[in-house]
Structure 1
């Protein structure tokens, strides 16, 4: 009997509905999705997880449909609907690994939602209170900790980056706009349309604002930490700047070099496969877009110290950073999450306060300006998710199966829910030296 067949048999044994979006699972590619957790730990933890889930949902404006017609939750008839197809498997996964299990249960098709973002937003708005405070004190004994192999040392970082950014340039081209920009856009209006050309314009607006705040113009020596696929470097070079950009993604470096050459700026842009800690030289402007999230909290001091050491007198720094509330940052900094396991190994989000404190303690830099853009990121993610759904068959042709598609949809909706709820924000932050007028 195959692994998937065993799962089906287990589900039938619990008299659960066989109806549901169960994907075909390749056990070699997705071993922890193909296997439902078991053993003594799960036998104890699954009923507890079921109890805590029902207790939390009973206070939330959401509806949860269970097999047999049971509906739980405090939501009205038009509240977001979550459908649990296999409650025993759902509880086993959540009991085994908490929120990691919640994401894995979605990947396995144990539950679904027509509007996944809306369901996840309900949970995100109450993230700090879903688990009773008495049990939160025990999280250190239960919640897994990040593996040391994923700490962003100079030895590990390239592997961490590669696991996400080297998936396939063709995959990212499916859902990104023509600028190939994989970070929050900055929209001129407050709409929520699905016009990709509008997204490209909003991405250029975001980049141009960062370059403006960094003072990038003719003759400026620019360092970009985190190349992406080259759009920022191209727009800086178009202003007459010379750009050195560093990345640890082989795929990004290859395509970014091609895009820079096609734009006619190969002589102005140097793209190196290099850890930011190994960069040398002196630069009038240093720009880094959503790269600090991949640094790891253990290395934030090193990140800003490096920037400080490379910045020329009178220079400016402009970064774009996803942030989270300071209290949640402190509570979760040693927690291994679904996002770490499946999307961004080694990543961690700073708080605004943490950036202030680290730059104050470790550098001569000070924060001059901030722009909060969380609503813009929610809209950006919605556009990406819509396009990914449109090109799902093309993703399958590239070798990304149905489990991957569910994982990617969960990732984009999970992120969008974080920004819509206010649990996450994204900031453009400008810094310069406190002792320079």
Structure 2
């Protein structure tokens, strides 16, 4: 059994496809001045954190705590000085730094995210932070491409680290610590709570925005609901349709390759699980207005959404992040305040209930990360190179750290639409 492979920077780069990962193969060119300034800013930030940052020359920073080993300080500083936090993630992908307990180290950084960059530089963020490419705007065509780049990677890849329900969102556990054998039941508990919130039962006309691999649609149809489920991923649509057919529910479930903006009809309930994160701030009003328009008077919408602090959302909404470049192109997390503002200003939906359960997502991600690590050889056999495997490990650990630090949260919302007829 092989763990996620920490390697030296030189060895890592030999195991990377330069045509696919040109930004990882070699660090960017950078002036001595820029690199020196980056080194000074990072030294000032890191020396006060509860970390042990160890450099190849023997120097150290931090007040103690989880260890970060910087194997190639020059490349590390050049990447961060040129590309900011995108460069920090690329430096990990290149093997220029490692951490024996990656989640613990990233949790410290997430817990101090708002204080890592000095206030004067924060105010100049628009000058130094990378800007989001126009090509990743979530227009109807752009959204299809963005979704495909993540969800059409390989059904086999996702099956290697997800449980048998193929649920790719936060589970709801009865207690901690969570264990792998309990994950499928916890995913069903999450789905059932959403279906209960939306009062899905026999004869319910249900619209699902974001199919995943079909588990929610199957579970809703087993209650007797008639389900229309929308996805932009061909891989997900095809596998979800097969799973529905295997359950003998084809007459109750229709899975369509369709943008949410193209949805038609009226439904008693709408459910959407962790899909709004892919919408983008530009289209949040359209997304929530679609939920509103598709719901019959008196209907109920149940939504599961990852959220971040409002001030951090405002600060980062126009910048280009590592997670957008490598994992979720076009993605952006909302804040609780943003959800309230958009629904209030653009819809007749009103929040009836909101249940946060971020600690459960941390445990879900831990189980996925451990499973991915245990099956690294199988991931490699599918054709995913070392940089991809380190990228995916970093993505799962980075996300888990966000929830453990409380920087990220996940919410289950119930929105109701009151009957406005006289």
Task: Please report the TM-score for the alignment, with normalisation by the length of structure 2.
Answer: 0.96
Distance in 2 separating the partners of 1:253 and 1:421 = 35
**CA deviation digits over 1:291-326, x for unaligned, max 9?**
000000010000011111110122100000000011
Which residue pairs with 2:17 in the alignment? Answer: 26
Q: What's the CA shift string for 1:38-82, capped at 9, x where partnerless?
A: 04xx4332211111111111110000111132221111xxx1000
Q: Per-residue CA shift, 1:86-121, capped at 9, x if unaligned?
A: 000000100110000000000000000111111011
Matches within 5 A, 1:330-341: 330-341=314-325
**2:404 matched to which residue of 1?**
420
In 2, Cα distance between equivalents of 1:44 and 1:269: 60
How far is the alpha carbon of 1:435 from its aligned partner? 5.4
Are residues 26 and 360 of structure 1, via their aligned partners in 2, closer, same or farther at CA, if it must alter by over 3 Å?
A: same
Distance 2:9 2:198 in 1: 57
What CA distance in whole angstroms lies between the structure 2 residues aligned with 1:177 and 1:51?
A: 45
Q: Which residue does 1:384 correspond to in 2?
A: 368
Q: 1:52 to 1:217 in 2, by over 3 A?
A: same
Contact (CA 8 Å) 1:365, 1:431: kept in 2 or not?
A: yes
Q: Are residue 411 (structure 1) and residue 392 (structure 2) matched?
A: no
Secondary structure at the counterpart of residue 156 of structure 1: helix
Q: CA deviation at 1:23?
A: 5.8
| 1:105 match: secondary structure | helix
Local SS of the residue matching 1:25: coil
- Contact 1:314-1:432 within 8 A present in 2 as well: yes
**1:163 paired to 2:149:** yes
Partner of 1:188: 174
Aligned length: 414
Query: Which structure 2 residues correspond to residues 92-241 of structure 1 after superposition, within 5 A?
Result: 92-193=78-179, 195=180, 197-241=181-225
Q: Matched residue of 2:325: which SS?
A: helix
Q: Aligned partners of 2:190 and 2:39: how far apart in 1?
A: 44
**Candidates 401, 410, 415, aligned match of 2:385:** 401
Q: TM-score, normalised by structure 1?
A: 0.93
Shift of 1:21: 5.9
Structure 1 residue 276 corresponds to structure 2 residue 260: yes
Q: Give 3-state SS (helix, strand or coil) of 1:69's partner.
A: coil
Q: Which position in structure 1 is the counterpart of 2:28?
A: 37
Distance of aligned partners of 1:318 and 1:18 in 2 relative to their CA distance in 1, 3 Å threshold: closer
3-state SS of 1:277 partner:
helix
Choose 104-113 or 20-29, whichever is displaced more: 20-29
Q: Deviations over 1:224-282 (max 9, x none)?
A: 00000000000000000000000000000000000111111111100000000000000
| Counterpart position of 1:61 | 50
In the aligned structure 1, how far is the partner of 2:208 from the partner of 2:417? 18
How many Å separate the matches in 2 of 1:134 and 1:24? 40
* Distance of 2:50 and 2:73 partners within structure 1: 20
Task: Please list the CA deviations of residues 174-233 of structure 1 after superposition, one character each: whole Å capped at 9, or x if unmatched.
Answer: 00000000000000112243x2x2000000000000000000000000000000000000
Contact 1:20 1:110 in 2 (8 A): no
Structure 2 alignment gaps of length 5 or more: 1-7
Q: Is the 8 A contact 1:214 1:318 kept in 2?
A: yes
Report which structure shows greater RCO (CA 8 Å, sep ≥6): 2
Q: CA deviation at 1:425?
A: 0.3
Give how far 1:391 is off: 0.8
Q: Provide structure 1 residue ranges, at least 5 long, that are not aligned to the other structure.
A: 1-16
Q: SS state of the match for residue 432, structure 1? A: strand
1:285 aligns with 2:269: yes
Structure 2 counterpart of 1:5:
none
Q: How far has the Cα of 1:18 moved from its partner?
A: 7.4
Cα separation, 1, equivalents of 2:364 and 2:334: 21
Q: Distance in 1 between matches of 2:342 and 2:267?
A: 21
Out of 345, 348, 352, the residue aligned to residue 336 of structure 2 is: 352
User: Using the alignment, how far apart are the partners of 1:252 and 1:46 within structure 2?
Assistant: 44
- Alignment match of 1:259 (pick from 235, 238, 243): 243
Aligned-pair CA distance for 1:365? 0.5
Q: Could you tell me how far apart the structure 1 residues matched to 2:297 and 2:219 are?
A: 24
